[in-house]
Structure 1
Amino acid sequence: MNKNDGGVLLMKRLFIGSLLILLLVGCGNPMQEELLSYINEDLPPLAEKESEVIARYESVTGDNYTNDEVMYAALVDEVQPKYQSFITDLEAVEIEEKEIKTVHEDFIEAANLQHSAFLTVISAIEEQDREKIDEANQKLSKARKMMRQYQVDLKTLAEDNEIEWEKENK
C-alpha cells in the first residue's frame, strides 16, 4: 500500500454527520411524532459518534496517509471498534412505524457495508493485497450510494407526512 492507495479510500461523511432538523408543519399524528423523534432525538447522538469515527478514519487516509502501520493501528484500535459500537447503537433504535423502520433498516445496511469495507482495508494491509483495497473501495462506493438513497427516502417520508426540512443554525 502507498500514499495514493490511501487517497482512493478517502470517503465523505455519511448523511448522519450533516443532519438537518425537521420541524412539524401540521397537526401531530403518531407517524409525524415518531419521525420527528427519530430525526431530532435518535439520530443526533449517533451523528456525533459517527462523525468522530469518520474523522479518525480520514486522519490516516488520503492526504493524511503516512504509512501502512499508522493507518493499520488507527483502523484496528479505533475506527473498527468505534464504528462497530456505532452500528450497535444504530441497531438499538426502536421504531414502531413500518415506513420509518424500513428506511432505518436501509441506513443500518449501509453502515454495515461501510464497516465491512473497513475490515477489508485491515485485511488488505495485513496481506498487502491490492485487490482487497479495490474491493474495499467498491464497498465504500456502494455504501455511499445506499446512504444517498436513505437521504432521499427519509426526506420523502418527511414530506409525505407534512414535515418540512429546516437547516439547524449552528
Structure 2
Amino acid sequence: MNLMKKYVLASILMFILILSGCGGDPVQDDLLNYVNEQMPKLADDETEIVGKYADVTGMNYTDDYTLYDALKLEIIPEYNAFISDLEAVEIETDELRKIHEDYIEAANIQASAFLQIVTAIENQDSAIINEANEKLNTARKMMRDYKSDVEKLAKEHDVKLEKK
C-alpha cells in the first residue's frame, strides 16, 4: 500500500535528536531521552509491522485469505505488543507526554482498523473495509500531526532534529 509506505517513511520515529545547546532544560533533556533512547527500537518495530501490512495490501494484495492470515497471525498481535511498549515509554515532562499520548491514540486507531479489516473479511462486508480505510487515513494524519508537534517542541527548546 503506497500511502502506508509513505506514512512509514515520514514517521517522526525515523528521526534522531541532536542537542544543539547545553542542558538545564527538562523538556530538552526529555526529548533527547525520548528519541535517542526510548523510541529507536519502537520505530524499528513499527516499521517492520507496518511493512508486513504493506506486503499484503495495495499493489501487493493477492487474496483475502493471505491478508486475513497475515493480520490474525502476525500483524495484529505484533502491533498490539508494539502499543504496549509504546504505552510503557517513560516521559518526564507534560509537554512531551501530551504529544506522546497523541501518538498512542493514533496507534490505537490503526490497530482498530486492522481488527475491522479482519471482521470485514470474515463477513465479506465492503462497508466495513471502507470504515477501516477511513481509520487508517485518520491514523496517518494523526501521525503527521505528531511529527509536526515533536518538531515544534524541539524548535521551542533549541533541539535540532536530524534524519538518520
Give TM-score, length-normalised by structure 2. 0.93
Q: Partner of 1:3 in structure 2?
A: none
Deviations 1:24-68 (A, max 9, x none): 111112221111010111110001110111111111111111111
Pair 1:138-2:134 in alignment? yes
User: Pairwise CA RMSD of aligned residues?
Assistant: 1.5
Q: Runs of 5+ in structure 1 lacking a partner? A: 1-6
Distance, in Å, in 1 between the alignment partners of 2:63 and 2:123 is 15
Q: How many residues align?
A: 161
Checking the alignment, whether the CA contact within 8 Å between 2:71 and 2:114 is kept in structure 1 is yes
Deviation for aligned residue 1:157 = 0.3
Q: 2:103 aligns with which of 97, 104, 107?
A: 107
Percent identity, please: 51
Q: Partner of 2:30 in structure 1?
A: 34
Checking the alignment, whether the CA contact within 8 Å between 1:117 and 1:139 is kept in structure 2 is yes
Distance, in Å, in 1 between the alignment partners of 2:163 and 2:45 is 20
- CA 1:48–1:31: 2 relative to 1, 3 Å: same
Pair 1:51-2:52 in alignment? no
Checking the alignment, whether the CA contact within 8 Å between 1:19 and 1:47 is kept in structure 2 is yes
Match of 1:78, SS state, is helix
Checking the alignment, whether the CA contact within 8 Å between 2:53 and 2:70 is kept in structure 1 is yes
Of stretches 23-32 and 84-93 in structure 1, the one that deviates more from structure 2 is: 23-32
Deviations 1:47-100 (A, max 9, x none): 111011111111111111111111100000000000000000000001110000
- CA 1:17–1:27: 2 relative to 1, 3 Å: closer
Q: 1:88 aligns with which of 84, 91, 97?
A: 84
Deviation for aligned residue 1:18 = 5.3
Q: Partner of 2:4 in structure 1?
A: 11
Checking the alignment, whether the CA contact within 8 Å between 1:117 and 1:140 is kept in structure 2 is yes
The residue identity in structure 2 corresponding to 1:159 is K
Moved segments of 4+, more than 3 Å: 12-18
Match of 1:11, SS state, is helix
Distance, in Å, in 2 between the alignment partners of 1:59 and 1:44 is 22
Q: Runs of 5+ in structure 2 lacking a partner? A: none
Deviation for aligned residue 1:11 = 2.1
Distance, in Å, in 2 between the alignment partners of 1:50 and 1:20 is 14
Give TM-score, length-normalised by structure 1. 0.90
